[in-house]
Structures are given as structure tokens and as C-alpha cells.
């Protein structure tokens, strides 16, 4: 299986690009903040230690949650794309254990190379981040950067371990049951959502809602004005992660509700809604980062806006707290945007044969591209709507706690502007991904037949 894994990687390098990019960027992102934690353990003052630890641990932990969720989702999509191949391997004599080993070895090889490259990027990114903090006065000018092999190595190992764990879970799902049943399920292309994702979603949704209630009933009356921020700031992100865990189900349900109107729509929209129901597990991988991007950016920036208006006498920690919030928004938004691009590339690559056949069967290139862009529009609208709903779990409780009422007093333009950005990223990623597929359909089909 190790030899087969090497051959598979050489022949199908493009299929593993999504996993490679996720591990590479995830290691670079988490490793940059991990170097701050290692720097905090050096010879620094207690104030610098606390500031570095907050930046590295608090901000880095949110980044870790987003990265690991995205990585597990990406690997799940990659393994599901090969469901028919794995089923065929079993029908010609491979055992379920051998098929799972093939998936793990491939993932190990890709993630190890990507994590090593990400560690190099993290060494540069961590130093740049530290320099920005020192120039901004967050830490003293006498503090020296202390990030090194310990933090970078631990991050790389953690990313590889996470990738292997995700591959093991996805591989087990792909090889469960008899070989003929597994092959039939893969060909049906509509797997069921595992029960543990529903449990994770319920826990995240419940905890986020509970923190919103605590903000209104408890921390709103605290003497410390930042207690309300501590409880409400995380609520929207938690709820968005819970909704993201249910993304395939949400795509299927909303497509079923919208499909009755497809009879009066264009051909592209009819194809889009039909494909959304049939391939909800693939489009769910795109919907999830759109939800998180919208919720994190709208919720956190609105929270910072409310804090600026309502806090009459800022204390010494205001600048650091606002910096933390802005860094969280930039980090999550950047990674979510990259994951949208990555997810569309993986989804369209999986469907390149299908899209090429549509063209050869009579659909025009414009109709083929239009159907994918229509799917992207459908996913974008659902994603920004759910992301906005999740952000309200942060915005409304914090606005009430700061005596602005249910509707904040200003900067309401932030929400539509950020939602428009999420839609633009999603549509742009889909348009770029599908354009490559509709250039030479005959060549694509010839390659698939080999």
C-alpha cells in the first residue's frame, strides 16, 4: 500500500492540492502564534509575558479551532471523492485495513511535506508578528524574539497528527460494510452525515446561546466593562462553527425548499438546485467557511465598534483588546477566504468529468459555467444569511450590555459590506475553478478514461 500511495501521489498530484494547501497554511498560521508563546517563556517581564501569552494562546486557540475544523473538512471531501476507487480496490481483493492504510499513507506523505513548508513560513510569520507587536508598544522594545524549533516542531507534528486522525475517520467511513455496499454508496454520491457531527453541532450551538444569555443576564451588570465582551465575543464564532458542522444538511434542506421554484428558473438554476441536493456533502465544504467568515467578521468588528462608542474612559488594556479582536478577524477571515477557494477547487476538480460530459451532450460552455456559478450564488446566499444570524448572537447581547439596545447605534453598514465581500469571494472562486474545466472537455474525458 505504501508503494501504491507513492504512485497515486505522482499520478494524481492535483487531487491532493487541497489537503496540501490546508496543512501548509494551517501550520504557518498556528505556528506564527505558537512562537509568541515560546517567546513568552523567555527572560521577559511579567507584563510582556502576559501580553505575549494572550496573543499566542487566546488568538492562536481560535485560529487552531478554525484551522483544524477546515483541515478535517478538506480531508473528508478528498477521501469521499475517491469513494468509488476505494470500493473498487476492495472488490479486487484489498481488505478494509489495507484501503485505510492507503489513505493514511497518502495523507502522511502530503501533510508531512506541507507541515515542513508551513513551519518555514511560520518562522518568518512569527517574527513579523512579533515585530509588529513590539513596534506597536504591546511588548517592550528590549524583548527579543524567542520562537524556534520547539514551537514550530510541535505545531508541525500537531498538524500531521490531526491530518492523520481526519484521514482515519474518513477512511473508516469509506470502508465500512461489505465492498459492494461501499461501492454502491460511493456511486450514489450522497453519504449520510455521521452522528457525532450532530452532537458537536448541538454542543457548539448550545454553548454559544448560553454565553449570549449570560452576557445579557450576568456580565452586563458587572463592574468590569470587558466581562460582557469576554462572554459575547466568542458566542457568534461558536454558533457559526456549530452551523458549519451541519453544512451538508443545511445545503440539502434549503435546496429542497427552493427546488419547487426551479421550474420557472433558467436551465442553469435548475441544474444548480438539482446538483445542490445530490452533492450537498461537497457544497457543504464550501458553505462552512462562508458561514464562519461572515459570522466572525461581522460579529467581531461590530463588537469593536460598539466598544469604541460606549466606553467613555478607555483603560490601559483597551488598545491590546481591540488589537486582539482585529487580529482574530483578519486571521479567521483570511483563512476562511482561502478555504472557500480551496473547497471550490476540490469540488470542481471532483466534478470535471461530469461537467465535461454536460458540454459534449449539448450544454453550452456558458450553461455549464452558469450552473456552477448558480450553485456558488446559492451557497453564498445561504452562507451569509446563516453567518449573519450567528453574528447576532454576539452583536445583540453586547449592544444590550452596553446600553445601545437590540440594534447598535452606528456602523450598521459593516454587515452588508462584509456579506458582499463573502459573496464576491465565493462567486469568484467558483468562476475561476470552473473556467479550467470548460476549456478542453474532450481532453478531460480522455484523461479520465486512462
Assess contact for 73 and 288: CB atoms under 8 A.
yes
Dihedral over Cα of 65, 24, 144, 317: its sign:
negative
Decide if 147 contacts 127 (C-beta within 8 A): yes
User: Which one of 132-136, 179-183, 245-249, 341-345 scores highest in mean pLDDT?
Assistant: 245-249
Is residue 109 scored above 80 in pLDDT?
A: yes
Lowest mean pLDDT: which of 139-143, 343-347, 442-446? Answer: 442-446
Comparing C-alpha atoms, which of 365, 330, 366, 364 is closest to residue 125?
330
CB atoms closer than 10 angstroms to residue 404: 17
CA end-to-end span of the chain: 21
DSSP state of 59: I
pLDDT at res. 41: 87
Q: C-alpha angle 339/345/348, rounded to 5°?
A: 135
Residues in contact with 206: Cβ distance below 8 Å, sequence separation at least 6, in sequence order: none
Q: What is the DSSP letter of 301?
A: H
Please state, for a pLDDT cut of 90, what percent of the chain lies above it.
17
C-alpha cell at 217: 443576564
* Cβ atoms of 74 and 282 closer than 8 Å: no
Q: CA-to-CA distance for 228 and 6, rounded, in angstroms?
A: 53
**What confidence tier does 203 reach under pLDDT thresholds 50, 70, 90?**
very high
- Helix H or strand E segment including 96: helix 96-135
CB 142 within 8 A of CB 42: no
Of the listed ranges 37-51, 196-210, 267-281, the least confidently predicted one is 267-281
Closest by CA to 448, choosing from 310, 349, 370, 361, is: 349
The model's pLDDT over 47-76, given as tens digits with 9 standing for 90+, comes to 888 878 877 776 667 667 777 777 777 777
pLDDT at site 157: 93
Please give the average per-residue pLDDT across 27-44, as a whole number.
Answer: 88
- Of the pLDDT bands very low, low, confident and very high (cuts 50, 70, 90), residue 394 is very high
Please return the burial class of 162, using the count of CB atoms within 10 Å of its CB with bins 0-12, 13-18 and 19+: buried
In the chain, domain spans: 1-188, 193-450
Q: pTM of the prediction?
A: 0.77
Q: Is residue 299 over pLDDT 80?
A: yes
In order of 20, 39, 157, the CA distances from 117 in angstroms are 10, 21, 12
Which cell is 276 given? 445542490
Whether the pLDDT of residue 383 is over 80: the answer is yes
- Per-residue model confidence as pLDDT tens digits over 415-430: 999 899 889 988 888 8
Q: Are 429 and 341 in contact, with CB atoms under 8 Å apart?
A: yes
- pLDDT given for residue 209 in this prediction: 92
Give the pLDDT band (50/70/90) at residue 120.
very high
pLDDT at 83 over 90: no
Neighbour count for residue 22 (Cβ, 10 Å): 32
Residue 298 phi/psi, 5-degree rounding, is -65, -50
Q: Which residue has the cell 434542506?
A: 253
Contact (Cβ atoms closer than 8 angstroms) between residue 73 and residue 285? yes
Whether pLDDT at 23 is above 50 = yes
- For the CA atoms of 435, 437, 441, 445, the dihedral, rounded to the nearest 10 degrees, stands at 180
pLDDT of residue 172: 77
How many angstroms separate the CA atoms of 421 and 415, rounded? 10
pLDDT of the residue at 450: 46
Specify the pLDDT at position 15: 63
pLDDT of residue 116: 95
Nearest 10 degrees: CA dihedral of 274, 279, 285, 287?
Answer: 20
pLDDT above 70 covers a percentage of the chain that reads 79
- The x, y and z cell numbers of residue 191, run together, are 453519504
Stated length of the chain: 450
Amino acid at each position: 500500500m505504501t508503494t501504491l500511495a507513492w504512485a497515486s501521489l505522482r499520478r494524481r498530484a492535483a487531487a491532493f492540492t487541497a489537503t496540501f494547501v490546508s496543512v501548509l497554511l494551517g501550520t504557518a498560521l498556528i505556528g506564527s502564534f505558537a512562537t509568541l508563546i515560546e517567546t513568552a517563556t523567555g527572560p521577559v517581564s511579567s507584563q510582556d509575558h502576559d501580553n505575549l501569552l494572550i496573543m499566542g494562546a487566546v488568538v492562536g486557540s481560535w485560529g487552531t479551532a478554525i484551522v483544524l475544523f477546515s483541515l478535517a473538512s478538506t480531508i473528508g471531501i478528498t477521501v469521499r471523492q475517491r469513494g468509488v476507487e476505494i470500493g473498487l480496490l476492495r472488490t479486487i481483493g484489498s481488505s478494509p485495513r489495507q484501503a485505510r492504510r492507503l489513505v493514511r499513507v497518502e495523507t502522511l506523505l502530503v501533510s508531512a511535506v506541507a507541515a515542513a513548508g508551513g513551519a518555514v513560513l511560520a518562522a518568518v510569520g512569527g517574527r513579523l508578528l512579533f515585530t509588529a507587536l513590539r513596534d506597536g508598544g504591546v511588548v517592550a522594545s528590549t524583548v527579543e524574539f524567542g520562537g524556534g524549533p520547539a514551537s514550530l516542531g510541535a505545531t508541525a507534528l500537531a498538524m500531521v497528527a490531526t491530518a492523520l486522525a481526519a484521514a482515519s475517520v474518513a477512511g473508516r467511513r469509506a470502508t465500512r460494510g461489505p465492498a459492494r455496499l461501499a461501492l454502491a454508496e460511493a456511486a450514489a454520491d450522497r453519504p449520510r452525515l455521521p452522528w457525532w457531527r450532530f452532537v458537536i453541532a448541538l454542543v457548539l450551538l448550545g454553548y454559544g446561546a448560553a454565553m449570549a444569555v449570560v452576557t445579557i443576564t450576568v456580565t452586563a451588570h458587572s463592574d468590569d466593562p470587558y466581562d460582557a465582551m469576554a462572554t459575547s465575543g466568542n458566542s457568534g464564532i461558536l454558533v457559526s462553527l456549530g452551523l458549519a458542522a451541519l453544512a451538508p444538511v443545511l445545503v440539502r434542506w434549503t435546496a429542497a425548499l427552493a427546488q419547487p421554484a426551479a421550474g420557472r428558473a433558467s436551465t442553469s438554476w435548475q441544474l444548480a438546485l438539482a446538483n445542490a441536493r445530490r452533492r450537498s456533502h461537497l457544497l457543504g465544504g464550501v458553505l462552512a467557511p462562508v458561514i464562519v467568515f461572515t459570522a466572525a467578521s461581522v460579529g467581531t468588528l461590530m463588537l469593536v465598534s460598539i466598544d469604541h462608542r460606549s466606553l467613555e474612559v478607555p483603560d490601559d488594556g483597551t488598545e491590546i483588546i481591540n488589537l486582539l479582536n482585529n487580529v482574530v478577524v483578519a486571521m479567521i477571515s483570511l483563512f476562511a477566504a482561502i478555504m472557500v477557494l480551496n473547497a471550490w477547487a476540490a469540488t470542481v476538480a471532483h466534478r470535471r468529468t461530469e461537467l465535461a460530459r454536460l458540454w459534449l451532450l449539448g450544454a453550452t460552455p456558458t450553461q455549464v459555467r452558469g450552473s456552477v456559478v448558480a450553485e456558488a450564488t446559492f451557497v453564498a446566499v445561504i452562507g451569509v444569511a446563516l453567518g449573519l444570524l450567528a453574528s447576532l448572537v454576539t452583536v445583540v447581547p453586547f449592544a444590550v450590555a452596553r446600553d445601545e439596545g437590540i440594534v447598535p447605534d452606528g456602523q450598521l453598514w459593516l454587515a452588508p459590506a462584509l456579506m458582499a465581500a463573502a459573496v464576491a469571494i465565493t462567486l469568484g472562486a467558483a468562476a475561476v475553478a470552473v473556467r479550467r474545466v470548460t476549456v478542453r472537455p474532450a481532453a478531460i474525458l480522455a484523461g479520465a478514461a486512462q
